[in-house]
Structure 1
Amino acid sequence: MFYSILHAPMRFFDLNPSGRILNRFSKDMGAIDEIMPRVMMEAIQIILVMLGILAVIVIVNPPMIFALSCAIVLFALIIKLYLRPSQDLKRLEGICRSPVFSHLTATINGLATIRARNIQNKLANEFDHLQDVHSAVWQLAMTSNTACGLWMDCISTAFVASVTFSFIIFYENTFSGNVGLAISQALILTGMVQYGIRQATETMQQMTSVERILQYTDLEPEQSPDEKPPSDWPRTGKIKMHNMSLRYDPQGPPILKNLRLEIESGFKVGVVGRTGAGKSSLIGALFRLAHVDGIIEIDNINTGTIALSSLREKISIIPQDPVLFSHTVRYNLDPFGHYTDDAMWRSLEDVELKSMIESLDYFVTEGGTNFSQGQRQLICLARAILRNNKVLVLDEATANVDPQTDALIQKTIREKFKQFTVITVAHRLHTIMDSDRVLVMDAGIAKEYDIPHNLLQNEESIFRGMVDATGPQESEQLKKVAAQKFSEIISPSSSK
């Protein structure tokens, strides 16, 4: 199941909340590992004992075969009536449990925001409501179990009565020992039948957990070609998009629409646009995290024809929320063991973290909580420097850091990735004003793509409107940065 989850397409995680996945790995796996073996063993033992008791009764009192047959038919009828709704209730109970996990996970992750907004009571009420729904289904399941047991007790009591009165009616002269043996065994049968059949039906109920887990072992994996690119690919980092469209749902409308774009090697490109314009989707297309129509070429190789693992390891990314593992700094920088300690120390020195980390074996806690947000971003930047890929993507990497860390990240990128292709999804306009090109996205369409200074000269430009919206003082400063970068580009002495 874990293997299937790791190889599932990203669409699966868009459609299935984390609580649903955690439910399968926790409660359902717990049912299979702990509950099912116990109830199955008890059901088998009790059924075998019941068969022995029934054999004794039939041997001592052969006419009881008729009463026994009637009891078995009634038991089967009750089980048939009980089993289907009980299994449906068990499935429903599992479905109602998932939102509880999701709510709890989201609450823990957003605890700082919840306390800042002082909405603890609102979240507690939401949790209580979800818990009430789950408890209601659980109560129905327990009530149905009790009702089943009551009816089985009634049948068992009637069977004991028939055994007892049969000796009075048919066997007035039988041995008292046989009578005592048959009645005592039948009395044992009364409680045992209910418990044994309930354990058998509980086993069948718990099979819903097996069913739910088997669903996750048969997930359709992400489709990936087998072809491997050359080991030194990409050499320059030139990116071309030919009528490229991206869909998160293969049957749904495209999110990115017919993009035609060419990014020269070594260019620093800033991507801007309103929320929902398709900025992050452009990154998803580069990594082929969703269904891509059209062609994306990196150094004249169609990324749709090479293995996804090879493509993704050749593109470095620094996300908005940095990803760190609960392991050592060495593992976080180089999880596959490809680089030397000296190279790792140099990458940490480049981002000014060398003096803050005692050893490469320093342990990083879950989510990197023993580092600040800015330090986590710098570790991700050090990882990108170490990998030395020709294409670097920044997905609003500086949106949650202080201006000093933002300046350090921008300075390091300008120095260490001077000859590399860098695509920056911008939250703050000043981080992309000195870019070689700016791409303005709107509703999944590339509206503008040019030098920032050229776009600012056009009063009808969307980019000009975004800059002007920052206010007179801020916009003037941004225009100066763009003008300075433009003069460097056209200057004969420029390194460009």
Structure 2
Amino acid sequence: MSFYDTTPLGRILNRFGKDIDQLDIQLPVMANLFLELLFQLLGAMMLMSAKMPLFLLGAIPLLLFYFLIQKIYLQTLRQVKRLESVTRSPVCNHFSETLAGLSSIRSYGVQKEFTDRFDVKVDTTQNCSYLLVVCRMWMTARLDTIGNIVVLLVTLMVVSQRGAIDDGLGGLLVSYVMASCYAFNFLVHYAAEMETAVVASERLDEYANVKSEAPWKVLPEPDRSWPTKGAVTFEGYGTRYRPGLDLVLHGVDLAIHPGERIGVVGRTGAGKSSLTLSLFRIIESAGGKITIDDVDISSVGLHDLRSRIGIIPQDPVLFSGTLRFNLDPNGMYTDADLWTALERAHVKEHFPGGLDTPISEGGQNISLGQRQLVCLARAVLKKSKILVLDEATAAVDLETDSLIQDTISKDFVGSTIITIAHRLHTVMDCDRIIVMANGMVIEEGSPSDLLLNPISQFASMARDAGILVNADS
């Protein structure tokens, strides 16, 4: 997953747009034309050599001239094309980011600033495109000059030997020379373009060889009922986001009992979300292990692991399609099950159009609170023994927060619930609080015990949030 953290979207769009177009369309077309012109040229040269052997003496230096021009042209073309490709990625990236943040751009009235930035990026890539055209014109001018000189020389040779060469044959030779020069020009052009187009295959091959995630399926698969208890254990666990970076979790030792409600708190950058990412193996272990019901999750396929754990993320993810598709993309549940889940998530009344209500990309046609409740309905439908709330209520209003907490308390009785908390009041009813700092567990205990300890980090955070007095009372 680190690939998506380090690779701009514009670069990916550029690779899968322009590069694939070059490889799938332009390269085969140019290769076909190159071979066609090559055979035409060979045929013409054989005919001219048979009727005028002296032509071979002139053809050798001619080929050397063409080769020299192609070599000079190719060196420049390769660099200019690389510049054009590099400058095109920021254009794609800026365009995609502008579309994603269009509502914010209009709200703050900064359309002109974004338009000006886009103009600068387009001008930069157009400058490179102009240089590309100039390079091609440079080569064309020189090839045409050489071709005209060759036609002139052959014409003079034919005229000088008009007694030995038939007039019709002489005209044929001159016309063949003109056609050959034309073919030579395009032959050099296509050869250079093909060589630079091959660079696209190298760039795509780089993406094809990007290290992928762990296997989607691993045999033997875990039991269908796994996990039956919901016990989660971290044993000396450490992880980092990418090789070469510092550890974001250091030697975490944590035992979460079946059915326990755990609240994970900490300042920004403490490692709370990294704990969640580790549980889903979005980032892999750099030491230690995580077990669920005594099964090491590193021995389980990603599909089995992620499908057995429920999550309500901070940023709800919805896809373009119907409400039914967003709740049950694989068609595993009945309509009655879907309606029950929506009702328990307190979101049924928001969709009078039924399960076929259209949902736009990212759920932009419904409110943030409704998106979060749809994600809650997914979790209710799944009935997982382990539920992760990754700051699920951090960006919603208090009413939606209350609805989510009410549904969780009623529908996930007996399930292990891990709450990554932004608002401390959401974890006050948890069985145990885990306080993290610098990627380590620094405190753990019941909310009341930690609040009664005036020097505890949790008590300090509660005082900052203004809820310690309420907790003491």
Q: Deviations over 1:384-426 (max 9, x none)?
A: 1111111111112122222211110111111111211111112
Shift of 1:184: 2.5
For 1:320 and 1:172, locate their aligned partners in 2 and report how far apart those are by CA, in whole Å: 92
- Alignment partner of 1:83 is 2:84: no
Letter in 2 for 1:431: T
Corresponding residue for 2:299?
305
Residue from 49, 55, 59 that aligns with 1:58: 49
Mean CA deviation greater in 130-139 or 450-459: 130-139
Q: Secondary structure at the match of 2:413?
A: coil
Corresponding residue for 1:280?
273
- Alignment partner of 1:423 is 2:414: no
Shift of 1:345: 1.3
Corresponding residue for 2:169?
178
Letter in 1 for 2:92: F
Corresponding residue for 2:264?
271
Shift of 1:205: 2.1
Corresponding residue for 2:20?
29
Q: Deviations over 1:331-355 (max 9, x none)?
A: 2212222222221111111012223
Letter in 2 for 1:139: Y
For 1:187 and 1:467, locate their aligned partners in 2 and report how far apart those are by CA, in whole Å: 88
- Alignment partner of 1:383 is 2:378: yes
- Alignment partner of 1:328 is 2:322: yes
Mean CA deviation greater in 91-100 or 391-400: 91-100
Corresponding residue for 1:488?
none
Equivalent pair of 2:345/2:404 in contact (CA under 8 Å):
yes
Shift of 1:245: 0.5
Residue from 435, 445, 459 that aligns with 2:440: 445
Shift of 1:256: 0.4
Shift of 1:67: 0.8
Residue from 344, 358, 364 that aligns with 1:363: 358
Q: Secondary structure at the match of 2:194?
A: helix
- Alignment partner of 1:242 is 2:252: no
Q: Deviations over 1:120-170 (max 9, x none)?
A: 333333323332332233222222222222222222122112211222444
What pairs with 1:108-257 in structure 2 (closer than 5 Å)? 108-224=99-215, 225-257=218-250
Corresponding residue for 1:337?
331
Aligned CA RMSD, in angstroms, stands at: 2.1
In the alignment of these two chains, the number of paired residues is: 469
For 1:168 and 1:415, locate their aligned partners in 2 and report how far apart those are by CA, in whole Å: 103
Equivalent pair of 1:250/1:291 in contact (CA under 8 Å):
no
Corresponding residue for 1:347?
341
Mean CA deviation greater in 169-178 or 279-288: 169-178
Structure 1 unaligned runs (5+)?
1-9, 484-496
For 1:435 and 1:366, locate their aligned partners in 2 and report how far apart those are by CA, in whole Å: 35
Residue from 408, 433, 450 that aligns with 1:413: 408
Shift of 1:196: 3.4
Fraction of identical pairs, as percent: 38
Equivalent pair of 1:67/1:162 in contact (CA under 8 Å):
no
Mean CA deviation greater in 247-256 or 415-424: 247-256
Q: Deviations over 1:196-251 (max 9, x none)?
A: 32133222222222222222223322234544222111112111111110111233
TM-score using structure 2 length: 0.93
- Alignment partner of 1:107 is 2:98: yes
Mean CA deviation greater in 388-397 or 14-23: 14-23
Letter in 1 for 2:222: P
For 1:280 and 1:254, locate their aligned partners in 2 and report how far apart those are by CA, in whole Å: 14
For 1:214 and 1:318, locate their aligned partners in 2 and report how far apart those are by CA, in whole Å: 36
Residue from 13, 17, 21 that aligns with 2:8: 17
Structure 2 unaligned runs (5+)?
none
Mean CA deviation greater in 74-83 or 241-250: 74-83
Residue from 431, 434, 438 that aligns with 2:429: 434
Corresponding residue for 2:30?
39
For 2:358 and 2:110, locate their aligned partners in 1 and report how far apart those are by CA, in whole Å: 34
For 2:342 and 2:138, locate their aligned partners in 1 and report how far apart those are by CA, in whole Å: 67
For 2:162 and 2:71, locate their aligned partners in 1 and report how far apart those are by CA, in whole Å: 36
Equivalent pair of 1:227/1:305 in contact (CA under 8 Å):
no
Shift of 1:269: 1.6
Mean CA deviation greater in 287-296 or 211-220: 211-220
Pair 464,117 (structure 1): closer, same or farther in 2 beyond 3 Å = farther
Shift of 1:171: 4.5
For 1:466 and 1:106, locate their aligned partners in 2 and report how far apart those are by CA, in whole Å: 36
Corresponding residue for 2:456?
461
Shift of 1:475: 4.5
Shift of 1:468: 1.5
Q: Secondary structure at the match of 1:232?
A: coil
For 1:381 and 1:99, locate their aligned partners in 2 and report how far apart those are by CA, in whole Å: 37
For 1:155 and 1:226, locate their aligned partners in 2 and report how far apart those are by CA, in whole Å: 67
Q: Deviations over 1:243-300 (max 9, x none)?
A: 1101112333211011111112222222222221111111011011112120211112
